[in-house]
Amino acid sequence: MIALVFADLGFERSVSAREVSPERESTGIDVSGLPDVESIGFLSRKNVEAWGHIFSSETEKTVLCEGDIVIISVEKGYNIKQDDLFTVYHQSALLKNPLGGKKLGHTISILGRIVIKDQVKYQLKEHLFIGEIVESYRGMKVGDPIFPYKSISPCIQPVPFSCKIATNIVAVKDQHELIGQFSVVYLAHGYNYGIRKGNLFEVVRETLGLPDVVLGHVLVLETRPDTATCIVVDSKKEFPNGTHIKSISWAKAQNILSIIPECRF
């Protein structure tokens, strides 16, 4: 089933599991056939500091999208120049951990990308720039905040775990209630916990006195000190937020990821 889904996306399964060595830094797996990695967003434990916001647009449109010209208001003190790229985002309300209810943080949804074209020559108080929306993942509007753009490569180098790790999925992109194949999910642990970009976790349902039931696998696409962003590369059935995940052996990870094509950095 999984192989067929990937084949529909243009992925071809190799005859045998590809040997993905953590020492071959020039080779990785290409996840560009999955949801756009530039729009995966992330979980932030605290409020994200905006560099500015969309101040106005050249039209009366309520929803802004790719190709629209906008005026950006940037906080003073930041050095902004022509061709700088900014990410337009939305910060969710404060979320609670589905396991225990403690304060979790905010999911940051990526709305699009803006390139700076010029500075507004005649202005009063605001630090204003002319920008063009060059990428749109969902509708934007006047007032949406921005921060500097950071590229995320779709070429991911799988890496083994340095130690056994068990944790839980704590948030889902767009706050969906159920999680399935290609869903983007967030963890409340990151680099400081030993999680690395390229790790592959097993999604499990624990049963008392019996072996865990494997529901699918999630690949780590990005890590921060205390959070991580992952994508569900396969799933046997949908599962809820809060589901348990755990590290797997390197040999097993290689076999599962062998269905995804190679790429080079």
Q: Is the pLDDT of residue 10 over 70?
A: no
What is the full DSSP assignment across 123-159? -SSS-EEEEEEEEESS-B-TT-EEEE-----SEE---
- Band of the pLDDT at 220, cuts 50, 70, 90? very high
SS3 state at 174 = helix
Instruction: List all residues 6 or more positions away from 136 whose beta carbon is below 8 Å from its beta carbon.
Output: 64, 65, 66, 111, 112
- By percentage, how much of the chain surpasses pLDDT 70? 89
Query: Domains of the chain, with CATH numbers?
Result: 2-37+153-264 (2.40.30), 44-148 (2.40.10)
The residue with greater pLDDT, 1 or 92, is 92
Give the mean pLDDT of 228-248.
96
Which pLDDT does position 35 carry in this prediction? Answer: 81
Which pLDDT does position 250 carry in this prediction? Answer: 97
Number of H helices, E strands in the chain: 2, 19
The residue with greater pLDDT, 120 or 105, is 105
- By percentage, how much of the chain surpasses pLDDT 90? 76
Q: Is the pLDDT of residue 4 over 80?
A: no
Contact 64, 141 (CB under 8 A): yes
Q: Is the pLDDT of residue 86 over 90?
A: yes
Q: Is the pLDDT of residue 155 over 70?
A: yes
pTM (2 d.p.) = 0.86
